Amino acid sequence: MTYEEWINEHKIKHQKLVSKLSYLSDMELVKYFDFDNMVKYEPDFCLLYKENTKCHDMETLNCYLCACPLFRLDKTKSFCDIASVNGGEFVGPDGFIHQDCSGCTIPHKIPYIEANFDKDWGSIMKNVVQK
Ligand code: SF4
């Protein structure tokens, strides 16, 4: 599966869950996406939930903005739009430059999610894949 295909698939999954939770306020909705809550009530949302494993080593991790609206992917590389000081990069065997987000927790914290909130996850992620 390409990254673009994953984004499109995740968009549908996100939309379905947001629709199911339409009775919640915006901030209740964001809180619902807390990792521990999602593991308990939405086990099929992420493969990592089955192993109860977080993608980042954080005590409180929120999954609303998985993957990250600051991630960028074009034909030759992936990169961070704000060049996060906690980001990195590595070159794949094919010469493709990959952004390494493993040290950056920005999109998984509530203040950032609140500041960038939209029920339409696809519109938040609209700049990720660069055509
Ligand atoms: S933020 Fe991490 S744990 Fe949450 S859905 Fe995304 S990959 Fe899974």
Residue 113 pLDDT > 90, yes or no? Answer: yes
Residue 118 pLDDT > 90, yes or no? Answer: yes
What pLDDT sits at residue 94?
87
Q: Using a 6 Å cutoff on CB, does residue 63 contact ligand 1? A: yes
Ligand 1, atom 6: nearest CA belongs to which residue?
66
Encoded tokens for 19: 């629709």
* CA 19 / ligand 1 centre spacing (Å): 19
Q: Using a 6 Å cutoff on CB, does residue 14 contact ligand 1? A: no
72 membership: H or E segment, kind and range: strand 71-73
77 pLDDT band, cuts 50/70/90, is very high
* CA 93 / ligand 1 centre spacing (Å): 26
Distance CA 117, CA 62 (A): 13
Averaged pLDDT score across all residues of the chain: 96
Q: Using a 6 Å cutoff on CB, does residue 66 contact ligand 1? A: yes
**Domain range list for the chain:** 3-124
Model pTM score: 0.94
What pLDDT sits at residue 25?
98
Question: What are the residues facing 71 on neighbouring strands?
Answer: 80
Encoded tokens for 114: 């609140």
> Buried b vs exposed e over 59-85: b needs ≥16 C-beta within 10 Å?
eebbbbbbbbbbbbbeeebbbbeeebe
Residue 53 pLDDT > 90, yes or no? Answer: yes
